[in-house]
């Protein structure tokens, strides 16, 4: 049996905001962020029904901040690794 994944309220709000951009389908956004398109459609429907109550859940501000910092750290690590590889490439090229 598979374990049920939990998504932060912040991720849900960001995904819904992406679906509201012109020229972007709900399916495209769902595939990009790695969730089932039906799940993203349900999040959007829930947000439309009750904007003030949507995605309250058990997320505390501390948990949301931790998740945001983890995403930022992952992004910075990717940038660092890319720059490291580029420096090695150009060092070899100039030799």
Distance from C-alpha of 54 to C-alpha of 30, rounded to nearest angstrom = 19
| pLDDT tens digit sequence for 20-62 | 888 888 898 888 888 999 999 998 998 888 765 566 555 677 8
Q: What is residue 21's predicted lDDT score, i.e. its pLDDT?
A: 85
The two three-digit tokens of residue 34, written as one number: 């790695």
Residues 6+ apart with CB under 8 A from 31: 37
Q: What is residue 88's predicted lDDT score, i.e. its pLDDT?
A: 93
Residues 6+ apart with CB under 8 A from 68: 10
Res 80 pLDDT > 90: yes
């Amino acid at each position: 049996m598979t374990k049920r994944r939990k998504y932060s309220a912040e991720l849900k709000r960001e995904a819904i905001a992406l679906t509201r951009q012109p020229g972007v389908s709900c399916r495209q956004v769902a595939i990009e962020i790695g969730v089932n398109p039906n799940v993203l459609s349900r999040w959007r429907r829930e947000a439309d029904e009750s904007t003030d109550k949507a995605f309250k859940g058990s997320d505390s501000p501390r948990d949301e901040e931790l998740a945001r910092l983890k995403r930022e750290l992952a992004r910075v690590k990717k940038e660092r690794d890319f720059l490291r590889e580029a420096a090695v490439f150009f060092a070899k090229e100039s030799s």
